[in-house]
Amino acid sequence: MKEKQNLQLLSGNHAVSWGVKLARPHVAPLYPITPQTPILEKLTEFHSQGELDAELLTPESEHSAMSACVAASLTGARVFTATSSQGLLLMHELLHYASGARAPIVMFNVNRTPGSPWAFWPDQIDSLSQRDTGWIKMYSESPQESLDTVIQAFRIAEKLALPLMISHDAFYVSHAVEPVELPQQELVDNFLPAYNPELRLDTSLGQSFGAPIDQATWNRSRREAGEAMARVENEVLETGKAWGELTGRSYAALENYRTEAADTIIVTMGSMCGTVRDAVDALRDQGTAVGLLKVRQFRPLPVQTLRDSLAGIPSVLVLDRNYSPGMGGILHQELKSALFGMRDAPRVHGLLAGVGGVNVSSNKIQQLVAEYADAKPSNDSVWVE
Amino acid sequence: MDMIDYPDGEQFSPGHVACAGCAEALSLRVILNTLGADAIAVVPPSCTAVICGGYPLSSVSIPVQHTTLESAAASASGVKRSLNALGKTNTTVVCLAGDGGTYDIGLQALSSAAERNEDILYVCFDNEGYMNTGGQKSSSTPLNAITGSTPAGKLSRKKNLVEILAAHRIPYIATCSPAHLSDMSAKIKKAASIRGTKVIMVIIPCLPGWGVADDAAVKTARMAVDSGVFPLYEVEDGVDYTMTIDTRNQSVNAYLKQQKRYRNLSDKNISDIQADVDKEWEYLLGRARK
Ligand SMILES: Cc1ncc(C[n+]2csc(CCOP(=O)(O)OP(=O)(O)O)c2C)c(N)n1
Ligand code: SF4
Ligand SMILES: [Mg+2]
């Protein structure tokens, strides 16, 4: 482990802005929304001070912001934007458009409850309901991870020509302040290859994008996107490892915490991981063999790695900070389908914990383990009181 | 006689799939050839999107980004900013959009691009309806016109988008007609030489949408200009109005009678439309005299 240098106290959102600045995007269309706004304001501040040499656009809506992102990306620029909740939902049409166009935009989303009723609390339904839009989706649990992931995201997205969305939870991560190590510009410049797409809108090339096509060609375009998706996990792994060699902080698609010889594994995403680590430590101290499996890469879901990680584990608790009415917790459903047909599959308990931002304490998680570890699981996700 | 005088650099190929006799295809040819090879087009769903061609063919030789219906101005901003960041600042970025994509669903994005004074050229092919989806009304459809969604005739008037855009004080707005192609070419050339947001509105009598004969699109456009229904003028910096043609030589009657979408007009409807056109004409002349 390298010695930490250049530490700064940063909120999760400001850590994102630092990551973006270090990645040197060419174009950043931005529209404000609580709790994303500090990302935007830090970037415009960097820009006005001459520290960020990018074309910043402030259009009238997130819909136009994402339209500009797609167009700028197809013209050959490295592109970043950030949003949250209503803004992400307003972009929905363009999210499909971006992935169909294979535009490697990097977007940061701050997970927040969508209206109605109006609320500003951490809940992942905004990004999870964009599950099928063809974006790579990653979840971060801390300011440092958000900064590191933004930089890695450009390398992954541009290599595979897929757009990539990273999310962190409102307030718990977006506004929580912690010491963050800022990498040197030179380090990032060496890590991130320049973006030079072969296909782009360029009058010297004459290529066009998005013209009407027949059924077979549309079909092929999605198959090709799927083939690129199949390469994501490996790319996330290699990129996370390369970053680790430079900074001492490695990353993977799924991350294990104290899962050795575990009887019960808790699976979750985002800020909940921090609380689970605390609960795992307390339970391990009491002699209970519990571990955490953190899902950092949600799309594509690393199915085989999930199966390998959970093989032989008697009991799995999924903590979902989201709720799909009529279906349940989305990670719960995804995990069940990922493990389907596995011999000796674990008992999977889906727990709706923290929906709407309600607090889930370490004590609560310890209680849940005691309550559910040996219980017979229900098909449906269960509300945690 | 208005001679067609523009450089034909073959930016627009034959074999496209516009209706035979379409004035939009004719206008596209003039506009693209006037702009030349150093341009990138942004096209939302519309007749233009179809005319530009289905993959893998293209009837236009410049690169095209096909974008979503409401996004033309935002997408063009993205292309332009990207070109700026990559040091290719001279390339013209041109939106080729319909009236639905401009007056209605794309107005928000257009207003925002105009407010930011993005360096784009926005051409609206105004065929006064959603023709791509079979001819429903847009907010550009005039009073009394029958469309797929106004079977008894539209109950409200056509939106005055030029005034809305003028209120943004953008450097250049002009109206054009496919019956006045030299004027169209000159206005496109002028617009392309100006930095900032420029908007060109082109009246396109749509053969099936308006119910005009296959060979009557250009003639109908000429009648729209000659009757004062669609005056040709320019607005600079949002306040300086200049009439391209400041006389009218016919009533609206013959123009309306050309078109099946007006088949149910009563004499009273026609005299009301005439009175409205007279009033708007005087208003416009008044603005141009100031
Ligand atoms: C968000 C969205 N809603 C609806 C449509 C369907 N649609 C495609 S083209 C069109 C009408 C376009 O009208 P206009 O802009 O006037 O172009 P024209 O077809 O008349 O050339 C509509 C409604 C769409 N593509 N996107
Ligand atoms: S529908 Fe009208 S505008 Fe569209 S191609 Fe045909 S004539 Fe031209
Ligand atoms: Mg139209």
A171-217 pLDDT tens trace: 999 999 999 999 999 999 999 999 999 999 999 999 999 999 999 99
Nearest Cα neighbor of A313 from A286, A335, A281 is A335
Overall average pLDDT of the B170-175 stretch: 98
DSSP structure class, residue B204: -
Residue B8 forms part of a structural domain: no
What is the average pLDDT score of chain B?
96
Q: What is the CATH number of the domain that holds B248?
A: 3.40.50.970
pTM flag (> 0.90): yes
Q: What is the structure's pLDDT at B1?
A: 45
The CB-side HSE value for A30 (13 A sphere, CA atoms) comes to 24
How close B58 comes to chain A (CA, Å)?
8
End-to-end CA distance of chain B: 30
Query: Measuring from atom 5 of ligand 1, which residue has the nearest CA?
Result: B69
pLDDT at A384 over 50: yes
Overall average pLDDT of the A88-110 stretch: 98
Q: If pLDDT is split at 50, 70 and 90, which confidence band does A5 have?
A: confident
Overall average pLDDT of the A300-309 stretch: 98
Query: Domains along chain A?
Result: 7-245 (3.40.50.970), 254-383 (3.40.50.920)
DSSP structure class, residue B60: B
Residue pair B198/B92 in contact by the 8 Å Cβ criterion: no
Residue pair B174/B229 in contact by the 8 Å Cβ criterion: no
b/e sequence A92-103, b meaning 16+ C-beta within 10 Å: ebbbbbbbbbbb
- A68 neighbourhood in chain B, CB within 8 Å: 74-75, 77-78, 81
Q: If pLDDT is split at 50, 70 and 90, which confidence band does B6 have?
A: low
DSSP structure class, residue B11: -
Nearest Cα neighbor of B35 from B66, B3, B9, B2 is B9
Find the ligand nearest to B210 CA.
2
Residue B16 forms part of a structural domain: no
Q: How many domains does chain B have?
A: 1
Q: If pLDDT is split at 50, 70 and 90, which confidence band does A323 have?
A: very high
Q: Mind listing the pLDDT tens digit for each residue in B192-202?
A: 999 999 999 99
Residue B2 forms part of a structural domain: no
Give the integer Cα–Cα distance in Å for A345 and B203: 67
Q: Mind listing the pLDDT tens digit for each residue in B66-102?
A: 999 999 999 999 999 999 999 999 999 999 999 999 9
Contacts with A63 (C-beta within 8 Å, 6 or more apart), sequence order: A90, A91, A93, A94, B70, B71, B74, B109
Give the integer Cα–Cα distance in Å for A248 and B279: 75
Residue pair A212/A37 in contact by the 8 Å Cβ criterion: no
Distance B45 CA to ligand 2 centre (A): 13
Residue B53 forms part of a structural domain: yes
> How distant, in Å, are the alpha carbons of A245, A331, B47 from that of A337?
35, 10, 44
Partners of B196 in the β-ladder:
none
How close A40 comes to chain B (CA, Å)?
18
Overall average pLDDT of the A368-374 stretch: 97
Contacts with B70 (C-beta within 8 Å, 6 or more apart), sequence order: A63, B44, B101, B105, B106, B108, B109
Overall average pLDDT of the A116-139 stretch: 98
b/e sequence B176-198, b meaning 16+ C-beta within 10 Å: bbbbbbebbbbbbeebbeeebbb
Query: Measuring from atom 1 of ligand 2, which residue has the nearest CA?
Result: B131
pLDDT at A258 over 90: yes
Percentage helix, strand, coil for chain B under 3-state DSSP, each rounded to 5: 40, 15, 45
Residue B6 forms part of a structural domain: no
Mutate to test the pocket of ligand 2, among B47, B59, B133, B260 (most ligand atoms within 8 A of CB): B47
pLDDT at A242 over 70: yes
More confident residue, B54 or A359: A359
Interface of A with B (CB under 8 A): 26-27, 29, 54-55, 57-61, 63-65, 67-77, 79, 93-94, 97, 201-203, 205-214, 217
Regarding the beta carbon of B71 and ligand 1, being less than 6 Å apart is answered no
Indicate whether this complex's ipTM tops 0.90.
yes
Q: Give the number of other CB atoms < 10 A from CB of residue B168.
A: 18
Overall average pLDDT of the A117-122 stretch: 97
Which structural domain, as residue segments, surrounds residue B149? 23-289
Contacts with B185 (C-beta within 8 Å, 6 or more apart), sequence order: B5, B6, B30, B31, B33, B34
Partners of B243 in the β-ladder:
B233
> How distant, in Å, are the alpha carbons of A94, A158, B197 from that of B121?
23, 30, 6
pLDDT at B219 over 80: yes
pLDDT at B9 over 90: no
- A97 neighbourhood in chain B, CB within 8 Å: 67-68
- φ, ψ (nearest 5 deg) of residue A244: -60, -40
Overall average pLDDT of the A8-26 stretch: 98
- φ, ψ (nearest 5 deg) of residue B66: -80, 125
Burial class (CB in 10 A: 0-12, 13-18, 19+), B172: buried
DSSP code string of A341-375? T-TTPPEEEEEE-SGGG----HHHHHHHHHHHTTS
pLDDT at B290 over 90: no
Overall average pLDDT of the A119-143 stretch: 98
Q: What is the structure's pLDDT at A2?
A: 58
Residue pair B177/B221 in contact by the 8 Å Cβ criterion: yes
Give the integer Cα–Cα distance in Å for A135 and B131: 33
Query: Can you tell me which residue has the tokens 């198959």?
Result: A223
Residue B9 forms part of a structural domain: no
Q: Mind listing the pLDDT tens digit for each residue in B138-171?
A: 999 999 999 999 999 999 999 999 999 999 999 9
Q: Percent of chain B having pLDDT more than 70? A: 98
Regarding the beta carbon of B153 and ligand 1, being less than 6 Å apart is answered no
What is the average pLDDT score of chain A?
97
Residue B7 forms part of a structural domain: no
pLDDT at B230 over 90: yes
